Amino acid sequence: MRAAERAQLAMMLEVCAFPKPGNVDRCHDYADTRLEHFLASTIFARPAFEEAERGEGRIGEIIKHAVQQTSIHGGGNTHFGAFILLIPLVYGGNIAGARRVIEKTDVSDAVAFYKAFGMTRVRMHESDELDVNDPATLAKLRDRDMTLLDVMQHSAANDMVAREWVTGFPLTRRGADLLHQSGPGRESIVQTFLALLATEPDTFIIKKHGRGVALETMKKAQEVLDGTRPVEALDEECIASDINPGSIADITIAAIFVALGEGWEWDS
């Protein structure tokens, strides 16, 4: 299977897997963002993934293209974090390749990335010095000659997706290992999602609700894994409180991409 198709398949499989507490899945929509929006983005991102697959062009530009291509529906940004992980993975073919690709980013990647960021409604950590809404930020990036990897370093403390870039994709790796351990088929995606949710505070939840809520969600996910809390109950709690572990979902997508490339079978 081509790397571009593998990325699309990973996005499709992740959003269909259910029940995933708090996130859009086969059984739940958000009011403004529905299953169909996620699947439309999966279709529309193809040219950007093909660009990455050819290994031409620059990572920052390709991430921007993916955001542009998937911004044509009303569901808002569905996959910004996933693209940040998938584009270097598709470009490099696997985690080792993605690390090499990331090392080669420069200030032009950082600028393109910030332009992509500005097109999304993704929220940043408060009082960020490199605020996406501040017109002076692009000049700062250029003055400091920051690479896209530098930008991710800047965000790593508050964003687990950025942290994957800086630390060499350890959670993506762990997610792929969990998929292999759980065996083939879509149930393993839910298990992997829950296992990551139980062990890592989701930075998307932290930005929206604070660290306490993220830690509480971790604890409850562990109770689901321990069999002391029904997964449906956690799902309902998350939905009622608008808690959606969006960054864990992004990392799960990257993990599916990697696992598929290592022979993990989705179709059983």
Establish how many alpha carbons lie within 13 A of residue 153's alpha carbon, considering only the half-sphere containing its beta carbon.
9
DSSP summary character for residue 32:
S
Q: Kindly tell me the sign of the dihedral angle through the C-alpha atoms of 116, 86, 171, 109.
A: negative
Q: Note whether 156 binds a copy of itself by CB under 8 A.
A: no
Contact range with a copy of itself by CB under 8 A, out of 69-77, 102-110, 123-131, 171-179: 69-77
- Write out the DSSP string of 98-166: HHHHHHT--HHHHHHHHHHHHHS-PPPPTT-TT-TT-THHHHHHHHTT--HHHHHHHHTTT-HHHHHHH
Q: How far is the CB of 133 from a copy of itself (least distance, A)?
A: 26
Q: Note whether 30 binds a copy of itself by CB under 8 A.
A: no
Phi, psi of 264 (to 5 degrees): -65, 135
Contact range with a copy of itself by CB under 8 A, out of 42-50, 56-64, 97-105, 143-151: 42-50
Q: How far is the CB of 151 from a copy of itself (least distance, A)?
A: 31
Q: Identify the residue among 127, 133, 228, 268 touching a copy of itself (CB under 8 A).
A: 268
DSSP summary character for residue 18:
S
Q: Note whether 73 binds a copy of itself by CB under 8 A.
A: yes
Q: Alpha-carbon distance 103 to 3, whole Å?
A: 21
184: left (phi over 0), alpha (psi -120 to 50) or beta: beta
Q: Note whether 266 binds a copy of itself by CB under 8 A.
A: yes
Q: Which is nearer to a copy of itself, 35 or 138 (CB)?
A: 35
Number of residues interacting with a copy of itself: please give it, by CB under 8 A. 27
* Dihedral of the alpha carbons of 206, 212, 256, 168, in degrees to the nearest 10: 70
Contact range with a copy of itself by CB under 8 A, out of 30-38, 112-120, 155-163, 190-198: 30-38
Q: Identify the residue among 3, 21, 24, 42 touching a copy of itself (CB under 8 A).
A: 42
Q: Note whether 26 binds a copy of itself by CB under 8 A.
A: yes
Estimate the crossing angle of helix 46-54 against helix 80-92, to 10 degrees. Answer: 30
Q: Identify the residue among 21, 22, 40, 143 touching a copy of itself (CB under 8 A).
A: 40
Q: Which is nearer to a copy of itself, 37 or 154 (CB)?
A: 37
Q: Note whether 43 binds a copy of itself by CB under 8 A.
A: yes
Q: Note whether 182 binds a copy of itself by CB under 8 A.
A: no
Q: Are 38 and 73 in contact (CB under 8 A)?
A: no
Contacting residues toward a copy of itself, per CB under 8 A: 1, 5, 8-9, 12-13, 16, 26-27, 34-37, 39-40, 42-44, 46, 72-75, 186, 266-268
